[in-house]
Structure 1
Amino acid sequence: MRQGVRLAVDVGTVRIGVARCDPNGILASPLETVKRGKGDLDRLAELVAEHEAIEVVVGLPTSLSGREGPAAEAAREFAGRLAGRLAPEVVRLYDERLTTVTAESGLRAGGVHGQARRKVVDQAAAAVLLQAALDGERLTGRPPGEIVRGSS
C-alpha cells in the first residue's frame, strides 16, 4: 500500500463533495463541500496542496450494468480539467456506483435529516468512494481506477 494522503471528489452538477484519508491510506473521512462552478478547480488545488495529497480520486458514475452515460462523460471531462490543473499530481477515475445511496442511508441511520443531510451528503459520498478505492487497493495491491490525462 502506498503511503500518503489521498483526496476523493464526488462531482455533482451543483456541489463537489471532498473527502480525505489518513497518511497510511486506511480510513477515509468527509472533508468539505465545494460549490461547483467558477473557482472550483482552484479550491480543489488548494485542498490538494494544503493536505499534501499524493493523488485525487474522482468518482465515475456508471449504471449498475457498468455502462457510462452523460454523467460519466461529465465526470471524465471534469477529471481531465482537474488533472491538467494539478499536474504532476495523479488524478484517477474510480467507479462510484451506489456511493451517494450508501452515504444517504448512513446519514439517515445516524439521525441526520433534511437540510443538514443535504449539506454533507456530497462529502459523505466522497468518503464512501475513497474508502472503496482504498479497500480495493489493499485487496489487489494495485492503485485504484484509471489514470486521467490532463486537458485544459
Structure 2
Amino acid sequence: MSEFRTGARLALDWGQARIGVAACDPRGTLAYPVETIANVGDERAIAKRLAELVAEYEPIEIVMGLPRHLKGAEGASAAKIRERAQWLTRQFPSIGVRLIDERLTTVMATRQLHDVGRGSRKQRAIIDQAAAVAILDHALTVERNVGEPGGELILEGTQHGGA
C-alpha cells in the first residue's frame, strides 16, 4: 500500500451542455466547486479555459466522471467521455487523466442541493459543479482507503472496448 499522493487535482463532470469543474487542495483534504464551463461545441474555448485552470491549480491529475449504467455496463455516454479523456491527454500530456465511476453523482448532488433549499431547474450549473465535487470526493476517498489512485488511468492512444 502506497501513501496518499500530495498535489491538487481537478475534477470534471463533462455533460452535453455544461462541464462542472471542482478542485481540491494539495493534501486532498477538501474538494470544492470551481465553475461551470459552457459546452457549446467550441473546442478551442474549452481548451483555453481548461488550460487556464490547469495553470492556476497546477493539478497532478484530472479526474473525470465515467457514466456507467447501474449494472456497470458502459454505453454511448461513456464512449463520449472516453473520447474526451483522450483529448485531455493530448491537451495536457504531463498531467494524468483518470476516469472514475460516477454512477449517481448527479442524483446525489441534486438531492444535496434540494435538501439545502436549492431547486434544480435554476441551479443546473451548480449541480454540475456539485457532481464534479462528488466525483473528486470519491476519487480521494478511494485513494485514501486503498492506498492507490482510484479509477482508470487514461494514456494517450489507449483504447477501451467498453460494453
Q: Report the TM-score range of the alignment, normalised by the length of the smaller protein.
A: over 0.9
Provide the rounded CA distance (Å) in 1 between the counterparts of 2:8 and 2:82.
Answer: 22
* SS of corresponding position for 2:87: helix
Whether 1:113 and 2:119 are equivalent positions in the alignment is: yes
After TM superposition, the score normalised by the length of structure 2 is 0.89
RMSD across aligned positions (CA): 1.1
Indicate conservation of the 8 Å contact 1:7/1:20, yes or no.
yes
Cα distance change on mapping 1:63 and 1:2 into 2, 3 Å? same
Equivalent pairs counted in the alignment come to: 151
Please tell me whether Structure 1 or Structure 2 has the larger radius of gyration of its CA atoms. Answer: 2
Indicate conservation of the 8 Å contact 1:84/1:149, yes or no.
no
Provide the rounded CA distance (Å) in 1 between the counterparts of 2:121 and 2:74.
Answer: 30
Question: Larger helix proportion, structure 1 or 2?
Answer: 1
Whether 1:69 and 2:72 are equivalent positions in the alignment is: no
Partner in structure 1 of residue 160 of structure 2:
none
Whether 1:126 and 2:132 are equivalent positions in the alignment is: yes
Whether 1:90 and 2:96 are equivalent positions in the alignment is: yes
After TM superposition, the score normalised by the length of structure 1 is 0.95
Whether 1:48 and 2:54 are equivalent positions in the alignment is: yes
- How far did residue 116 of structure 1 move? 3.7
Point out where structure 2 has 5 or more consecutive residues left out of the alignment: 158-163
**Can you list the C-alpha shifts for 1:73-127, whole angstroms capped at 9, x where unaligned?**
0000011101110111111111101000000000000111154421211000000
